Chains A and B, each alone.
Chain A
Amino acid sequence: MSSSAGQAHHGEAHQKPLVGSMGVDSRKLGLWAFIGSETLFFATLIVTHLIFYARTSNTLSSVGALELLDPRLGYLAIELTTVLATLLLASSLTMVLALAASKARDWKRFRIWQLATILLGASFVGGQIYEFIHLYHEGLKLAPAFEMHLSHEAHKALTALNLDPSIVRLKEAGEHATALVPSLFGVTFFVMTGFHGLHVTIGIIWLIAIYVKVSRFPESPENPMDIELGGLYWHFVDLVWVAIFTLIYLI
């Protein structure tokens, strides 16, 4: 988004264009520092989620209801998320291939791989939107309690535990039984994954902008660096998902 003053001096041979006293492109250096900053941003979101998840699971396990009501097992569909994570990881590969193509100045191949990256990213976001809507209908909302649908057996088992309503409140409406559990799981989950999804969306817009620019000006020597920068951000966003997927879904 920014060009560098001083890097654009014509006529003075003391600096190569786009490379500064560190021998690195200024925008690349800036983007690395920005990624450092973003790491703390996501770390705070992830840690908040883990703190509140630990609290919920401790409370539920202290009354013996964790196995029936664990929001992670009850809501998060590991199959769907594995597919989404695979799509996003695959997009990192296609991004690398797009960059390699641009370095070989093969613009046709670049366009294919860049488009593939964009589409894979978009399917991830689409999948996430689907997941959010699904979870909302399942009773996981942006609210400090979740309402989980219960099977007949689960309802029976929970009724037998005779739980304090401040920990779990059972509700029965005709055939359907639900358990209302005060927990910040939904809040922290939606805020954390929502901000990640927002970052992926910004990344997609960025990659589209690069696609358009490179297609319009294939001769510009800035192209490989433009692509590399977009790719750097893209890989970071993927890596954040690896952290979220591992910490939230797997362990």
Chain B
Amino acid sequence: MAIAEQKLTSTAPTTKESFQWRSWLATVDHKKIGIIYIISAFIFFIIGGIEAMLMRVQLGTPNSTFLSADLYNQLFTMHATTMVFLVVMPMNVGIGNYVVPLMIGARDMAFPRLNAFSVWLFLGGGFLLYLSFLTGGATNVGWFAYAPLTQTQFSPGQGVDYWILGLGLTGVASIAGALNFIVTVLNMRAPGMTINRMPLFVWMNVVVSFILIFAFPTFTVASIQLLFDRQFGAAFFNPALGGDAVLWQHLFWFFGHPEVYILILPVMGMISEVLPVYSRKPIFGYSFVAFSGVGIGFLGFIVWAHHMFGTGMGPIANGFFAAASMVIAIPTGVKIFNWIATMWGGDVRLTTSMLYAIGFISMFIIGGISGITLASPPIDLQQTDSYYVVAHFHYVLFGGSILGLFAGAFYWFPKMTGRMLDEKLGKAQFWLMLISMNVTFFPMHILGTEGMPRRIYTYESGMGWEMWNFIETIGTFFLAFSVLMFIYNVLVSLRSGEVASNDPWDAATLEWVVPSPPPSYNFLHIPHVTSRRPLWDAKYPHTTADDHHGEKSAPSQIRYEYSHEDSPGAKEIHMPTLTFMPMVLSAGLTVAALGFIYINQAILGLPIRTASYVFVAIGIVMVFYAIRGWVLDSRRDSPYLGHH
């Protein structure tokens, strides 16, 4: 194949003029894959935000007929599914993809083709999820899809099947991505980059990857079982036929609760990078921050049933899960105190990124405290399925994850694009976003305690809920405006923003050694690392802190020179060739999954059923073609098997 013969180093675009679709669609470069993740996740963020706004307009006034009940149900289900699986997860993965290999001094992820496969399969899953809006209605059963509502007699359309298979694809993509992160971090570190010198963002990514590979299979199995219920009448979760609805809850939340930490831990890692740089101080208690993340990862697996207090599990189960859930507050609190102590006495620079990081800490504390209240079964029984819960998870997911992701975005945007974002606009956006998120989400605490249930599409007037609902709806519009400000900031800055140097923030980690944006091979000379803050050591040798008591280690060896695309010596670096095969493989799986949704649709008559077989067959052919091509491509890159 002609394309595959070309090396990435010779096709990677360095300027706008040389932009080639092929260099993106067939890319195996972790940085480009990261950017595809980030842009896709941001588009889904806008879609999920529009869904939220439609719901808020509906709820802004009592007895509203703006949306039908069914459409409202579809919107809240897809809003949650989108924000969890198509926004926060891929945004974390995207930034991790871009930054982690740079931070550990590697030239790419361990498995570049698998990495490309992950991003395209994630997009395939997102495509399926949204295709359902056009094919008879999206899933409307809520994002945790409780049984027996998901059974065909209650959800006769194909929305739930699209949801199962769409999330199935993103799940496989996530597991493949997590395996890639684990191997990359454990095996691709530069010389001297020991586990205990890794940046905390890298730490959190590897913790999350381990959580992910152990949490996702349970959901995969549960959703396959649900698919068997719907397609082949299996009745796993159908109590009328001997199945067990509560089993679904256990299997779902055994995945679903660790999932919460999958959403927040990478963001905590970002904060742990941002705070020290803008405080000009090393992170306070590095080991505590790292190991509390590991602790959260472990504890996250034994608290799932606190989502099920309302199910009636009995006092022993309630007691255990309540206690375990409260214990999680300890490692989380450790992190928060470490972040505050990092800023304490530091030379704090209140950049936009720093403001977002501080915003993260403050909002996350509010969400954390309401979380502790919900860990108590008597309180939870009052508040479960009320707007109080909605307030809680929006404080940790918006106030936490999203604000933290903006901190990361402002921090790493210069590295990724070579341009600085506008700080003035950014700060204005921060304040607008912080205030409007509180206007939107804080009254939900009040409405929840006043008894407003979540997931109702409208309410009577005279319940005393009108004022707060109206205020929340107004808040949403300001929130949307703050996101528009960010989009404007990105577009303007990409065109005419201040040009970023290698190291615009005077940072400490290795991604700031290389040019902004980095060349395709990242490092011309792999750095030799001797401390946790290699770049600060190199820049300020007299202040070098030691890893070991009293002994001053030699500063890390970092060579800045020649690290650009056409550096002498760059041609010697062998990077994997471009290949379309990961994309073809993902497309094949998506097509087969789409066909599978209609595999048993006898009601719709012969044509649909035949078409579904054709789709499955085409998908399988594509899968085999892609695997064959993938093997041939990897042989081409093998140092031993050579070109054939």
Contacts and interface: CB of A to CB of B under 8 A. Distances in A.
B641 A9 contact: no
10 cross-chain pairs, A with B, having the tightest CB-CB distances, nearest first? A20-B187, A5-B108, A144-B235, A2-B111, A41-B217, A37-B213, A44-B221, A6-B107, A40-B217, A144-B241
Interface in B216-247: 216-218, 220-222, 224-225, 228, 232-236, 238, 241-244, 247
Interface stretch (B432-440, B572-580, B596-604): B572-580
Interface stretch (B38-46, B311-319, B342-350, B631-639): B631-639
A40 B213 CA distance: 9
Interface of A is mostly: loop
A212 to B, nearest CB: 10
A48 B213 contact: no
A55 B106 CA distance: 53
A107 B216 CA distance: 40
B242 A182 contact: yes
Interface stretch (A27-35, A93-101, A148-156): A27-35
A87 to B, nearest CB: 26
A187 B228 contact: yes
A222 B639 CA distance: 10
A3 B574 contact: no
A40 B574 contact: no
B239 to A, nearest CB: 11
Contacts of A188: 236
Contacts of B224: 191
B514 to A, nearest CB: 14
Contact of B640 (A5, A40, A191, A221): A221
Given A10-B572, A21-B193, A143-B233, A29 B183 contact: yes
Interface in A223-240: none
A221 B234 CA distance: 49
Contact of B179 (A17, A34, A44, A187): A34
Given A14-B526, A48-B221, A144-B243, A209 B213 contact: no
A183 interface: yes
Contacts of A217: 640-641
Given A1-B630, A5-B112, A182-B242, A24 B221 contact: no
A30 B182 contact: yes
Given A21-B193, A142-B232, A142-B234, A3 B576 contact: yes
A191 B227 CA distance: 11
B110 interface: yes
Given A2-B114, A143-B234, 15 more contacts: A2-B111, A5-B107, A8-B576, A8-B638, A30-B182, A33-B179, A34-B179, A40-B213, A44-B251, A48-B236, A51-B247, A143-B235, A184-B243, A187-B228, A222-B640
A135 to B, nearest CB: 15
Contacts of B247: 48, 51
B102 to A, nearest CB: 12
B111 A4 contact: yes
22 contacts: A2-B113, A3-B111, A3-B576, A3-B634, A5-B107, A5-B112, A6-B110, A8-B637, A17-B639, A22-B186, A22-B187, A26-B183, A33-B182, A33-B213, A44-B218, A48-B251, A51-B244, A51-B247, A143-B235, A145-B241, A209-B631, A217-B641
Interface residues of B, number: 63
Given A9-B574, A41-B220, A45-B221, A1 B186 contact: no
A48 B113 contact: no
B337 interface: no
B217 A38 contact: yes
A74 interface: no
Given A41-B217, A187-B234, A33 B183 contact: yes
B242 A144 contact: yes
A217 B635 CA distance: 11
A41 B191 contact: no
Nearest to B214: A40
A36 B108 contact: no
A122 to B, nearest CB: 19
A187 B236 contact: yes
B312 to A, nearest CB: 18
B344 to A, nearest CB: 34
Contact of A30 (B107, B179, B210): B179
B627 interface: yes
Contacts of A41: 217-218, 220-221
Contacts of B576: 3, 5, 8
Given A1-B113, A4-B110, A29 B188 contact: no
Centre residue among A4, A9, A20 by max chain B CB count within 10 A: A4
A2 B188 contact: no
B637 to A, nearest CB: 5
B306 interface: no
Nearest to B180: A30
Contact of B187 (A1, A21, A143, A221): A21
Interface in A77-130: none
Interface in A36-64: 36-38, 40-41, 44-45, 48, 51-52, 55
Centre residue among A6, A10, A51 by max chain B CB count within 10 A: A6
